[in-house]
Amino acid sequence: MPAIERRARRVVITGLGLISPLGNSHASLWESLSTRRSGVGPIESLPAGALPIAFAGEARQFSGGIEDFGPLDGEHKKSVRKGLKVMCRECQMGVAAAQLALADAGLGPSKSDPDRTGVVYGSDYMLTVPEEFTAGILECMRETCRFEFSQWAPVGMGKMNPLWLLKYLPNMPASHIAIYNDLRGPNNSITQREAAANLAMGEAFQVILRDHADVMVAGSTGTRIHPMKAVHAALSEELATNGHDPTKAARPFDLNREGMVLGEGAGAVVLEEIESARRRGATIYGEVIGAGSSAAADRNLTARRDVALINATRAALRQAGLEPSQVGHVQAHGLGTRKGDVEEARALREIFGQHFERVPVTAAKSYFGNLGAGSGTVELIAGALALTHNHLFPILNYETPDPECRVAAVTGAGAEPGENFINLSVTPTGQASCLVVKRFRA
C-alpha cells in the first residue's frame, strides 16, 4: 500500500490579548512602546512600606471586574462572572488575556470545532495572599489575644473560604479558559516561571504541527507584586532601587543598571493552522516557525543561563530552518540585572558570532519590568506588532553602553524589525525558552 503523503502544517498567530502596565490592548501597548511611555510607577495596590520596593509595573487598568474580560454574550458573561470568586488576581489576568485574544481572533463560543481547539497556559508558582488567613487567625486569638496554634484546626480553619485553594492552583487559568469557551482539545499547564510563556506557546505550536488540534489558545500570567514573592525577590535577586524617578529604574544592558523592576501582567495569543485561518478570513499577525528550550547548570547546580539560552535558541533556529545571520531582531529577556544581562549578551555573542553587532536587540521589560511568567507572551506580542508596523521600539533608559554586554541595542526610531525575530526568556535557575516568529506573507 503506498504511503499517504502528509501536507506540512503551518501555524499562524490570529489573535492577541494582554493585561499589562501599558494597558489592556495591543493598541495601547504599541502606542506606549512607540512613544517611550513607561508603565512603572509608585506601588498603589499594596500599603506603602509593606514591601522592600516602592515602585513597580502594576496593571493599573485591570480591576478584575467582568468589564475587563472583553466582549461576552449573556450566558458567557454570567459564567465568567460566577467564576471570578475562585480566581486569584493572576488567574483573572490570565483568563482575561485569553478572552481578549479569542475576541481579537473572532473566535467566540461555537466559532471553532471544540474538539480541535485547546489551551496551553504558563504561570509562576502561585502563593496565597495573607488576607486569606486573617479571619481564621483572629478567631484563634479571641481568648488570649495571642495566636493559639492548637485552635487552628477546630476553629480557625473553618473561617477560611472553603474554595480558597482553587484560587491559587497554577492549572486553573487553562481550566477556566477551556470551560468558559467549551474547548475540548489538548489542555496543559506549565509552571516554569519566566520561561513558561515561550514553553506554553511552543507546545501549542507543536500540538498543531502534530495535527492534534487546529486552534490553540496559548499564553501566560504572572506577578512579582505580591507580599511573599517580593520578599523572595529581594532576598535572592537584584532589584532596582532608583526611587527618584521610577520610570528610569528599568535599564536593560545599560552600564548604570541596578536590577530588575517587579511587575504583573498576562498575555495570550491564538495560534491557528494556516488553512483554518484562511477559511475564516482571519487577520494574521505572524507565523510561528520554531521553538526551543533548555536547562543548564554546572556540577554545583549553579545556573548557566548563557548556556541554556544558547541551546534553546539554536534548537529553535534549527526547527525554523534559519541561520543566525538571517535573524531580523531579538526580543531579549533584558531583565536589567548586572549578572543576568551580561550572561544574555554572552549568549547572543556566541549565537550570532560575527553578526553579533548587526542584529538589533530590544527589551520590552524596560517599559514595564518583570511580569514573571506573563512577560514572555507580552514581549512576543510586542515583537509581532513590530513586524506589523515595520519598525522597532527602542530600549527605554538605555544611555551608556556596558563593555561587558555590548549588544546592538535599539536606541532610536527608524530601526527595521527584519523578516523575523527570536523571543527569549530565562529563569534565575537556568531554564531558557525561545520562539521564532516571521512576518506573514500571503
DSSP secondary structure letters along 28-60: HHHHHHHHT----EE--SS-TTSSS-SEEB--T
Would you state the pLDDT for residue 246?
Answer: 92
Q: Which CATH number is 11-126+169-438 given?
A: 3.40.47.10
Would you state the pLDDT for residue 112?
Answer: 81
Measure the N-to-C terminal CA separation of the chain; round to a whole number of Å: 36
Domain boundaries, the chain: 11-126+169-438, 130-165
pTM of the predicted model as reported, rounded to 2 decimal places:
0.94
Would you state the pLDDT for residue 109?
Answer: 72
CB atoms within 10 A of CB 47: 8
Would you state the pLDDT for residue 7?
Answer: 59
Would you state the pLDDT for residue 1?
Answer: 37
pLDDT digits (tens, 9 = 90+) for 221-272: 999 988 888 888 888 889 997 667 899 999 999 999 999 999 999 999 999 9
CB atoms within 10 A of CB 129: 15
* CA atoms of 360 and 412, how far apart (whole Å): 11
* CA atoms of 167 and 86, how far apart (whole Å): 5
Would you state the pLDDT for residue 242?
Answer: 62
Residue whose C-alpha cell is 474547548? 183
With a cut of 50, list the residues of the chain below it in pLDDT: 1-5
Would you state the pLDDT for residue 150?
Answer: 87
Would you state the pLDDT for residue 180?
Answer: 94
* CA atoms of 254 and 239, how far apart (whole Å): 15
Would you state the pLDDT for residue 4?
Answer: 40
Would you state the pLDDT for residue 204?
Answer: 98
